[in-house]
Amino acid sequence: LRLLTVASGLGAGDARTAEAPAALMAAGLGARLAALGYDVDRHHLPLSRSDSPSAADEKHAAISDICRAVAGEAADAIASGERMLVLGGDHSIAAGTWAGAARALRHRGPIGLVWIDAHMDAHTPATTPSGNWHGMPIAHLLGEGDAELAALAGDGPALEANAVSIVGVRSYEPDEAALLTRLGVRVIGMDEIVRRGLPAVMSDALAIARRASAGFGISLDIDAIDPLAAPGVGTPVAGGITPADLRAALAGIAAALDCLGLEVVELNPARDIGHRTRDLVLALIEHAFATADLAGRAFPAAAE
Ligand SMILES: [Mn+2]
């Protein structure tokens, strides 16, 4: 298991999400993965600590550097036959993670993705109201937006729209919805989750991701979860997915043979209440990578 920790919050409004990997490791993540039987190979980014850039062009250069490095790590992990657990940091790194995986598997076919998030993350530099790069990674993975970030997968976009869905959406701008509609990405909003239940929509999302022949990934933005249960995020939106529903939906998923890996982003320890969000993230990761034995265990006992 390639555990890639990315201590960067450059793409977020509140950069303290960079502290998430250290918080998760200090709380025993490595031992938990080892207890599940994984041989954990940890790599860490960024390799050097730079001053936080403030000018827009400096920030763009820094984000590009990190995403390129993340893509290199992901491509290397997948080419080596390793499964991935990528821990952010903010969600802008996803433009690197899945571009790298796609690049490594291009000879076999396309990859699919299930994106779980309160937001669409489908802005481009031309439409973003905040200028924050964590609101744009889906656009980059689909070949839109910033030319440098959209090119990280090598020949062509990282993802084809018909193998991507976004689950849990309840906050977005019209430009994002228009882009996703134009490209044909399935967006599963909270209203649909309330109506049909998370198991039914996750089944749809997995079927969409598995249209791609070379495997699929999961990108989990912790703000998809209801902020009453997961307050430790930079951009909380009321009315999200319950921890119990998400635990059940993710159980064993990252251990599936055709799953390339799980990315978990936007945990912000500085905004947590107690260690509520951190402990929830640990339990979700553990359940996602576990086989049926652990998936059946009472929740969230694993976090205590
Ligand atoms: Mn996100």
Q: Backbone dihedral region of 168: left (phi > 0), alpha (psi from -120 to 50 degrees) or beta? A: left
pLDDT value at 28 more than 90: yes
CB 96 within 8 A of CB 148: no
Confidence label for 112 from pLDDT (cuts 50, 70 and 90): very high
Ligand 1 centroid–CA 226 distance in Å is: 14
CA dist 208 and 184 (Å) reads 12
The average pLDDT across 29-55 equals 87
* Percent of the residues in the chain that have a pLDDT greater than 70, as a whole number: 94
Q: For residue 266, report the distance from its CA to the centre of ligand 1, in Å.
A: 7
Phi, psi of 256 (to 5 degrees): -60, 145
Closest by CA to 254, choosing from 70, 3, 18, is: 3
83, amino acid identity: R
Record the pTM. Answer: 0.95
Q: Is the omega angle on the peptide bond into residue 46 within 30 degrees of 0, that is, cis?
A: yes
Rounded to the nearest angstrom, the distance between the alpha carbon of 293 and the centre of ligand 1 is 30
Question: Comparing 4-13, 32-41, 288-297, which segment has the lowest mean pLDDT?
Answer: 288-297
Alpha carbons 36 and 286: distance in angstroms, whole number: 8
Mean pLDDT of 213-236: 98
110 C-alpha to ligand 1 centroid (Å): 22
Q: What is the pLDDT of residue 51?
A: 64
What number of other Cβ atoms are within 10 A of residue 48's Cβ? Answer: 6
pLDDT at 50 over 80: no
Tell how far the Cα of 8 is from the centroid of ligand 1, in angstroms. Answer: 14
Give me ligand 1 centre to Cα 257, in Å: 26
Check whether 57 has a pLDDT greater than 90. Answer: no
For the cut 60, the answer to whether the pLDDT of residue 300 exceeds it is no
